[in-house]
Amino acid sequence: MMYNVGGMSSEDDEVQEELPEFLQVTEAAEYIGVSAQTLRRWDRSGRLSPVRRAESGYRYYRRSDLEPFRLEYRRAADAALEGGEIFTTSNANIEANEQLREPQREAHRAVREHFATSDDAAILVIPVGCGKTGIMATLPFGIAQGRVLVITPNLTIRKGVTDALDIASRECFWARTRVLSDFTAGPWTAVLDGPTANLHDCIESQFVVTNIQQLASQADRWLPQFPPDFFDMILVDEGHHAAAASWQKVFRKFPNAKVISMTATPFRSDQQELVGDVIYRYSFARAMVNGFIKQVHSRSAAPEELYFTYRDDTRRHTLDDVLQLREEQWFRRGVALSPECNRHIAEASIHRCEAMRAETGLPHQIIAAACSVDHARQVRAIYEECGYRAAEIHSDMDPDEQDAVLERLRLGQLDCIVQVQMLGEGFDHPRLSVAAIFRPFRSLAPYIQFIGRVMRVVVQNDPDHPDNKAYVVSHVGLNNEARWNEFRELDLDEQELVQSWLRGEQDEGDGDAEGEGQPRRFDDGLLVNDEIISHFIDLEYLDPEDDRVLDEMLAQRIAGGMTLGDIVTREQLRERLRERRSATDREEPQPIPVAPQRRRRAARTRLAQRTNSVAARIMRDLGVSRAGREVARAGLLRGGMANTQAVTALLQREINGYLGIGAQSRGTLTADQTDAALNELDSLGDQVRDRIRDAMERSS
């Protein structure tokens, strides 16, 4: 039986009086207006307690206990018909507002025209730094007929969106850009930010902002409270996430809402198809031309000669050989983990960062991408050897430690931050201008998201300002130039290519990157012995030889409503850009001298950190826990210490034996001796593991 909860008449009230006092689960769920599954979750959380009738033992609910929930849901259902009048009655200045950016005006027009003839979900492709938050703030006006739900992927983005939609905030977008002049009736914004928010906040607001974890978590606190027609429009930030199950759950809850997703990368690494069609796309090239994001350049270290050992075979290779071998996963992985190759990437990134600093005095900074936590420590140590203040950041760190690292970055106390799958969407720090890539990217989406971290402009709307340049520095052996070329083609090509990526037809490549927290070997596969870097391979995103780039430039508006194309031809523009490029001094690779003491200290720190990682790998190989005591019970050590301490002590003893020194003598080592121990550390770890395994088998 069904129990009506909205628009009830006196006759309905009589029907309610005839209902039994105790309702079973399905009946109670229908009475309130939620699913039986939601009711069971409320039971488990203690929000609503059932009773058990002695004669049957079944679970029942008193109608009097259900009544507050039913009335609350009924109020929300009634409110679904209200709350959006401001979007249809306000005199919002949007599509002719010169204070809005071009993509903000054009996106509003595209969405308005789309929903005038279609109910299908829409996708807007908007690069980082082009004003996605402003687009979300303006889209409902003249389009939405009711309340608007804004979903963000994380807390960082949620805070930025909330500030822009708060009429009491200095960051209020409508006030800053004069979209609205009267705020007497709002718009009001509610934030689903924890236990202090409630349904009444949402009923009395026109915007409801949340992150997906809060809205559609397993606890399911919020979603069941909203009737299906409570929201007329759903705005999804970082819309490439929207194919995930949690987001689909939200869309199913509000089947009639207008869904608009915004993303800079309209595809997913897992090849899931996104929801909706691309109805508007603002290219990265166009954003660079207009000064909304930095002009990006690629620089890759190219070896004239590279010496490496693979499967006990030592060979010398030329650049042509490297360009062929980089197609192989084993080769890319070896280059990524090679201290020699890492040093050349670090040196190139430092030289570029120092050149930018010298030009304007702004303390530009570097963000680096590493394969794993262990690799990040190696990269950080190289930067420190070169005199740069560096720190790593990864998800295994305590949140307070992460915050401390980010605070040092913002205060200018770091020159470089080395990240492992962090600092993604919503991280905004314009002084990051050099992206140093120490790992191969196997697919395009994470590549674009990473280099997006250096795209935020320092000086607004000034594309030629020297501080509005960014550099992506890597090594040709990592083959990241392939991702660079894919990025440009996706951005500049026609819609057919974009649609193919949306359908998940991109080449996934191979799995070069490993889990960030997994201890890994550094001696497995290719080992680079030495390389001679002869030059850099430099690529420009705004390549003057590409007619598509020139056409974007020629379409740029200048004074008096004219475009650049009105006063200069394509070939004239090309020649001017060539002259500017030739006037720039060509940079040659230069090693950075490292003081012997700094090198020795960095190597000693690295040996200590790698020892802990190898000890973790030994325990993983043996299948023992960190807190267990199996190793000590095997009789290799006195005392009953935990496995972590026991394995580490045995490994330290093995290292000292290899070096021919006693305990507490590491301070007497040279840098070369310490480096030698580092190179042998995985092999020494294997010997310790095998010895422990034999002892455990004998003692069992």
pLDDT, one tens digit per residue, over 542-580 is: 999 999 999 988 988 887 778 888 899 999 999 988 888
Q: Is the pLDDT of residue 190 over 80?
A: yes
Residue 53 sits in the same domain as residue 145 = no
Q: What whole-number distance in Å separates Cα of residue 202 and Cα of residue 210?
A: 11
Q: Is residue 75 part of a domain?
A: no
Residue 268 sits in the same domain as residue 382 = no
Residue 409 sits in the same domain as residue 546 = yes
Q: Residue 528: beta bridge partners?
A: 308
Of 5 and 380, more confident:
380
Q: What count of residues does the chain have?
A: 700
- CATH code assigned at 55: 1.10.1660.10
How confident is the model over 73-113, as pLDDT tens digits?
665 555 555 666 889 989 999 999 999 999 999 999 999 99
- Residue 73's pLDDT is 61
Residue 123 sits in the same domain as residue 36 = no
In the chain, the percentage of residues whose pLDDT exceeds 90 is 46
For residues 230 and 204, the answer to whether their CB atoms sit within 8 Å is no
Sign of CA dihedral 490, 491, 494, 495: positive
Q: Is residue 612 part of a domain?
A: yes
How confident is the model over 199-228, as pLDDT tens digits?
888 888 999 999 877 776 644 667 777 888
Residue 443 sits in the same domain as residue 509 = yes
- CATH code assigned at 418: 3.40.50.300
Q: Where is average pLDDT lowest: 97-111, 116-130, 185-199, 239-253?
A: 239-253
Q: Which of 475, 492, 164, 132 is nearest to 333 (CA)?
A: 475
Of 610 and 471, more confident:
471
- Euclidean distance between the first and final Cα of the chain, in Å? 64
Q: If you average pLDDT over residues 144-167, what whole number do you get?
A: 90
Which of the listed residues 282, 314, 347 is the one where a domain comes to its end? Answer: 282
Residue 441 sits in the same domain as residue 309 = yes
Strand, helix or coil for residue 531: strand
- Residue 506's pLDDT is 44
Residue 29 sits in the same domain as residue 90 = no
For residues 468 and 295, the answer to whether their CB atoms sit within 8 Å is yes
Residue 311 sits in the same domain as residue 437 = yes
Domain holding 480, by residue range, is 295-582
For the question of whether the overall pTM of this predicted structure is more than 0.75, the answer is yes
Of 591 and 54, more confident:
591
Q: Is the pLDDT of residue 515 over 60?
A: no
Which of the listed residues 555, 582, 609 is the one where a domain comes to its end? Answer: 582
pLDDT-based confidence at residue 63 (cuts at 50, 70, 90): confident
| Residue 463 neighbours by CB under 8 Å, 6+ apart | 288, 289, 290, 291, 295
How confident is the model over 525-546, as pLDDT tens digits?
677 878 899 899 999 999 999 9
- Residue 503's pLDDT is 47
Q: Residue 368: beta bridge partners?
A: 418, 436
For residues 92 and 214, the answer to whether their CB atoms sit within 8 Å is no
For residues 84 and 147, the answer to whether their CB atoms sit within 8 Å is yes
Q: What whole-number distance in Å separates Cα of residue 99 and Cα of residue 122?
A: 25
Q: Is the pLDDT of residue 509 over 70?
A: no
Strand, helix or coil for residue 272: coil
Centre a 10 Å sphere on the Cβ of residue 488 and count the other Cβ atoms it contains.
23
Residue 370 sits in the same domain as residue 461 = yes
Q: If you average pLDDT over residues 150-175, what whole number do you get?
A: 91
How confident is the model over 642-683, as pLDDT tens digits?
999 999 999 999 999 999 998 888 888 898 999 899 888 989
Residue 441 sits in the same domain as residue 332 = yes
Strand, helix or coil for residue 469: strand
Write the DSSP assignment of 130-174 as a string of letters.
S-HHHHHHHTTTTT-SS-EEEEESSHHHHHHHHHHT-TTSTT-HH
Strand, helix or coil for residue 297: strand
Q: If you average pLDDT over residues 410-438, what whole number do you get?
A: 90
Q: If you average pLDDT over residues 234-245, what whole number do you get?
A: 74
Q: Is residue 288 part of a domain?
A: no
Q: Where is average pLDDT lowest: 428-432, 497-501, 585-589?
A: 497-501
| Residue 547 neighbours by CB under 8 Å, 6+ apart | 570
Q: Where is average pLDDT lowest: 28-32, 266-270, 360-364, 471-475?
A: 266-270
Phi, psi of 616 (to 5 degrees): -65, -40
Q: Which of 243, 296, 251 is nearest to 267 (CA)?
A: 243
Q: Is residue 591 part of a domain?
A: no
Q: What's the total number of domains in the chain? A: 4
For residues 381 and 608, the answer to whether their CB atoms sit within 8 Å is no
How confident is the model over 289-335, as pLDDT tens digits?
999 999 999 999 999 888 887 766 777 888 898 889 899 888 899 89
Q: Is residue 424 part of a domain?
A: yes
Residue 236 sits in the same domain as residue 122 = yes
Q: What whole-number distance in Å separates Cα of residue 234 and Cα of residue 119?
A: 13
For residues 685 and 651, the answer to whether their CB atoms sit within 8 Å is yes
Q: Is residue 80 part of a domain?
A: no
Of 648 and 699, more confident:
648
Q: Is residue 676 part of a domain?
A: yes
Count Cα atoms within 13 angstroms, Cβ side, for 375.
Answer: 30
Q: Is residue 403 part of a domain?
A: yes
Q: What whole-number distance in Å separates Cα of residue 433 and Cα of residue 495?
A: 30
For residues 372 and 520, the answer to whether their CB atoms sit within 8 Å is yes
Which of the listed residues 556, 582, 608 is the one where a domain comes to its end? Answer: 582
Residue 60 sits in the same domain as residue 175 = no
